[in-house]
Amino acid sequence: MDKTQDVAISRCDYTDIDLDSLLAPLGGMRRFVKRGERVLLKVNLLSASEPSSGVTTHPAVVAAVADAVQREGAFPYIGDSPSGRFTRKALEKVYNRSGLDRLSRDMGVELNYDTSSKRVTVSSGKKLKNMPVGNFALKADRIIALPKIKTHSFMVMTLATKIMFGTIPGLTKARYHSMFPKRNDFADMLLDVLSASTPDLFIMDGILAMEGNGPQNGKPVELGVMLASEDAIAMDLAVCEMLSIEPELVPTLKRARIGRMLPSGINYPLLRPEEAGIKKFKLPSTVKKAKRRPQPTENCTGCGKCEEICPRNAIKLIDRKARVDHSICIRCYCCHEVCPANAIKLVR
């Protein structure tokens, strides 16, 4: 990509978010939304988790963005297809635990319950020429994506380039894990998904992030930063620089480089990445060459979520305990990601 991209970085916590200052170098919210438009706030709602767990986009960030959109006379609504089945019941649980139903009541912001989808053609797609995309994303006049800084045991980091995977409905996401078991192929697929419905603006929640074996069962860590950019790849490169992560370790960025999708340069109108003052950040243990295998532990409650999500049917519940057939496991770590009891360890 022959274009320099702006990435605004600022330090803050959940009680003093100054979104106007963060967006000012990009032209302010008015550059991205117009009066009367319906604006999807595409949050990261991986699972029904409390905001303090660092799993989901924090409601304080969502509230700040919703407020800025409303001030422009537009109508924000919140949507995502979490891990597992895409049903009204599942959404109710996720909205409740993540604090978004309260935000919805307090601010009059709509929560999406439309679980229908439509096939979208991506003629430039490397791995997918067409795919089902949730109508909640397709019907938006504008999309503002609100990713979170988190590690990901399979894709190393889950940032802006992966956020639109949540527009793929329900268990189709697990099927794509099965179709693309190699990291590079999966990364190409994620870039195809991003191009199917590209957000107009990305605002990253890096205030409470997650390190270690994310995106569900890693360790919450306070980084105290937010980022804003029009470009997902520039934003993810900025996060890597801020956290001292080699971009080639992140498959989406590696594949974006090979596909000549990187910006020609990044301009930092506020803080530079090194000025964010982040000293250390722990990557997933799976980054090491020997791929770790998922091993259920005695903490397994027999809920069956891992069995349901596993794209290779490698998990069976035996005597109400999960058992993995490692001979067919493709190490996608979906089971680790959905386990509500943190009962799956990644072992050598």
- Point out which residues bind ligand SF4 (CB under 6 A): 294, 296, 300-306, 309-312, 314-315, 322, 324, 329-335, 338-339, 341, 343-344
As measured in angstroms, the least distance from the Cβ of 217 to ligand SF4 is 10
Minimum distance from residue 179 beta carbon to ligand SF4 (Å): 12
Least distance to ligand SF4 from the beta carbon of 183, Å?
13
- Considering beta carbons, is residue 157 or 343 the nearer one to ligand SF4? 343
- Cα dist. 61→16, 51, 57, 254 in Å? 10, 11, 7, 29
Q: How far is the CB of 71 from ligand SF4 (least distance, A)?
A: 42
Radius of gyration over every alpha carbon of the chain, rounded to an integer in angstroms? 19
Instruction: Map residue 92 onto helix, strand or coil.
Output: helix
Kindly tell me which of 46 and 314 has the beta carbon lying closer to ligand SF4.
314
Residue number with CB closer to ligand SF4 (249 or 328): 328
Nearer CB in complex with ligand SF4: 233/332: 332
Q: Which is nearer to ligand SF4, 162 or 305 (CB)?
A: 305
Beta strands, E only, the chain: 4-11, 38-43, 75-79, 110-111, 117-121, 130-134, 142-146, 148-152, 156-158, 201-211, 219-229, 265-267, 293-296, 315-318, 321-324, 344-347
Least Cβ distance, residue 118 to ligand SF4 (angstroms): 28
Residues facing residue 322 across a β-bridge: 317
- The residues, ordered by sequence, that sit 6+ positions from 246 with a Cβ below 8 Å of its Cβ are 240
